[in-house]
């Protein structure tokens, strides 16, 4: 059993799963946020991907939940179908063997089947904002007993696309409900919106850092037009589970088409993909059936994919925060990871500046003989003045 005092006061089923999961100690965000949530405070939490944000809200919420009472007590909102299902799986893992009933509700799924799920009187509901609002308007989802509402990946859910729905859902709950906002990044705008919906919110921020011990950072210089070929060659070297970040959906499609044409298996996670395609891509990648996952920053927000050995910046990130957010998906839980940036000449100068800001040493490499090797220094020929021609006409 962990010597974490907070855990010792939690329900036995929570302690049991914690022990079975092999956790030794809480992460920084868990240590700081769980006591505040247990006290009933409204909380705004910012913490990088992979730091255990889901358990930061899930454990105290499960501890406070009244198992004897049916009906929705907890609502968890997430921006994507994949993240909803990831959280749902986590809820089921931690409530196994209890009488706690949970259910997921996502857009695009058969609404009649989802209405049937509500007849089981779930105590925990996880869903996308649009579908939750739809069920509330149909008077199928009763919110009058909701005591806790969690907004996961809050930066995305306060965007113009989702904010109206989030506000409608909050208005449908009890006046004295507890509201929790969690995100890898909390912008000033998000903080302002969150505070307007909360009562004396406590703000908890965990600074983004990256493990220098477990993760190596390398870069390969390539002409912009040759980047797809560089990515293909990288994948034929060592990577067995790599995520490549691309700046736009259009570019994701182009990269996928060219790699597939060259006989490479690729999984794609992008906003415009059909629901089943996205689910299958993620499933294949998680299972190790496909070595490369192509995605954008938006599509991959909040997703926890274990054992990623390589993160590849196909398009170099614009900010240090973005670099850390992407790169933090490898080298986790004491395992080794490699971050590869494929950069053009302009991006190389930006990369060096970012390395200085982050205290990261970027090692220049190149692709040679089917391997990633140390870059060879370009030899410059010494300047030799031309000899005067002796062919002058006499």
Examine residue 119 and state whether it is found in any structural domain, yes or no.
yes
Radius of gyration of the chain (CA): 25
Examine residue 297 and state whether it is found in any structural domain, yes or no.
yes
Q: Which of 280, 342, 352, 285 is nearest to 314 (CA)?
A: 342
Q: How confident is the model at residue 394 (pLDDT cuts 50, 70, 90)?
A: very low
Examine the fold and report which residue of 205, 240, 268 is the final residue of a domain before the chain moves on. 205
Examine residue 384 and state whether it is found in any structural domain, yes or no.
no
Residue 377 reports pLDDT greater than 70: no
The pLDDT value recorded for residue 211 is: 59
360 CA to centre of own chain: 22
Examine the fold and report which residue of 170, 205, 240 is the final residue of a domain before the chain moves on. 205
The pLDDT value recorded for residue 224 is: 94
Residues 222 and 263 placed together within one structural domain of the fold: yes
Residue 196 reports pLDDT greater than 90: yes
The pLDDT value recorded for residue 209 is: 64
Q: How confident is the model at residue 159 (pLDDT cuts 50, 70, 90)?
A: confident
Examine residue 261 and state whether it is found in any structural domain, yes or no.
yes
Residues 120 and 151 placed together within one structural domain of the fold: yes
Residues of the domain holding 107: 5-205
Examine residue 230 and state whether it is found in any structural domain, yes or no.
yes
Who has greater pLDDT, 57 or 331? 57
The pLDDT value recorded for residue 327 is: 87
Examine the fold and report which residue of 168, 183, 205 is the final residue of a domain before the chain moves on. 205
CATH number of the domain to which 146 belongs: 3.40.50.300
User: What is the overall mean pLDDT for the chain?
Assistant: 88
Residues 268 and 176 placed together within one structural domain of the fold: no
CB neighbour class for 61 (10 Å; exposed up to 12, middle 13-18, buried from 19): buried
Residue 194 reports pLDDT greater than 80: yes
Residues 52 and 147 placed together within one structural domain of the fold: yes
Residues 266 and 121 placed together within one structural domain of the fold: no
Residues 112 and 219 placed together within one structural domain of the fold: no
Can you read off the two tokens belonging to residue 198? 């909360």
Q: How confident is the model at residue 384 (pLDDT cuts 50, 70, 90)?
A: low
Examine residue 159 and state whether it is found in any structural domain, yes or no.
yes
Residues 326 and 232 placed together within one structural domain of the fold: yes
Residue 385 reports pLDDT greater than 80: no
Write out pLDDT tens, residues 12-68: 999 999 989 888 788 889 999 999 999 999 999 998 877 789 999 999 999 999 999
DSSP conformation letters of 229-282: HHHHHHHTTS-SSEEEE-S-HHHHHHHHHHHHHTT--EEEE-TTS-HHHHHHHH
Residue 183 reports pLDDT greater than 60: yes
Residues 73 and 99 placed together within one structural domain of the fold: yes
Write out pLDDT tens, residues 208-247: 666 567 789 999 999 999 999 999 999 998 788 999 999 9
Residues 178 and 288 placed together within one structural domain of the fold: no
Residues 244 and 347 placed together within one structural domain of the fold: yes
Residues 152 and 232 placed together within one structural domain of the fold: no
Examine residue 391 and state whether it is found in any structural domain, yes or no.
no
CB 388 within 8 A of CB 243: no
Domain count for the chain, please give it: 2
Q: How confident is the model at residue 342 (pLDDT cuts 50, 70, 90)?
A: very high
Distance, in Å, from the CA atom of 50 to the CA atom of 211, rounded to the nearest integer, reads 12
With tokens 């499960």, the residue in question is 62
The pLDDT value recorded for residue 208 is: 65
Distance, in Å, from the CA atom of 157 to the CA atom of 112, rounded to the nearest integer, reads 26
Who has greater pLDDT, 301 or 110? 110
Threshold 0.85, pTM exceeds: no
Residues 31 and 153 placed together within one structural domain of the fold: yes
Distance, in Å, from the CA atom of 235 to the CA atom of 264, rounded to the nearest integer, reads 9
Examine residue 254 and state whether it is found in any structural domain, yes or no.
yes
């Amino acid at each position: 059993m962990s010597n974490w005092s907070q855990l010792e006061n939690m329900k036995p089923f929570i302690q049991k799963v914690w022990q079975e999961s092999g956790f030794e100690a809480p992460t920084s965000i868990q240590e700081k946020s769980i006591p505040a949530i247990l006290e009933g405070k409204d909380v705004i939490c910012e913490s990088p991907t992979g730091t255990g944000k889901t358990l930061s809200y899930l454990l105290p919420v499960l501890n406070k939940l009244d198992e004897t009472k049916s009906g929705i007590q907890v609502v968890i909102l997430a921006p994507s179908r994949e993240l909803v299902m990831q959280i749902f799986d986590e809820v089921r893992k931690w409530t196994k063997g209890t009488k706690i009933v949970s259910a997921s509700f996502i857009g695009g799924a058969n609404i009649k089947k989802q209405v049937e799920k509500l007849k089981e009187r779930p105590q925990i509901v996880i869903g996308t904002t649009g579908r939750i609002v739809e069920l509330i308007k149909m008077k199928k989802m009763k919110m009058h007993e909701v005591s806790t509402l969690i907004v996961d990946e809050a930066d995305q859910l306060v965007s113009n696309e989702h904010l109206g729905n989030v506000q409608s859902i909050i208005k449908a709950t009890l006046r004295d409900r507890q509201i929790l906002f969690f995100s890898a990044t909390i912008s000033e705008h998000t903080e302002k919106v969150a505070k307007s919906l909360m009562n004396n919110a406590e703000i908890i921020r965990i600074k983004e850092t990256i493990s220098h011990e477990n993760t190596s950072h390398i870069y390969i210089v390539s002409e912009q037009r040759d980047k797809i070929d560089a990515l293909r060659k990288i994948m034929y070297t060592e990577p067995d589970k790599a995520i490549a970040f691309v700046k736009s959906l259009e570019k994701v499609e182009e990269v996928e088409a060219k790699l597939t044409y060259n006989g490479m298996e690729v999984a794609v996670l992008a906003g415009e993909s059909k629901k089943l395609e996205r689910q299958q891509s993620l499933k294949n990648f998680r299972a190790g059936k496909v070595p490369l996952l192509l995605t954008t920053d938006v599509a991959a927000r909040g997703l926890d994919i274990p054992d990623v050995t390589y993160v590849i910046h196909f398009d170099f990130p614009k900010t240090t925060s973005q670099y850390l957010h992407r790169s933090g998906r490898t080298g986790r839980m004491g395992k080794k990871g490699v971050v590869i940036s494929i950069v053009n000449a302009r991006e190389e100068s930006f990369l060096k500046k970012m390395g200085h800001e982050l205290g990261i040493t970027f090692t220049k490499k190149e692709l040679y003989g089917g391997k990633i090797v140390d870059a060879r220094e370009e030899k410059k020929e010494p300047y030799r003045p031309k000899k005067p021609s002796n062919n002058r006409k006499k």
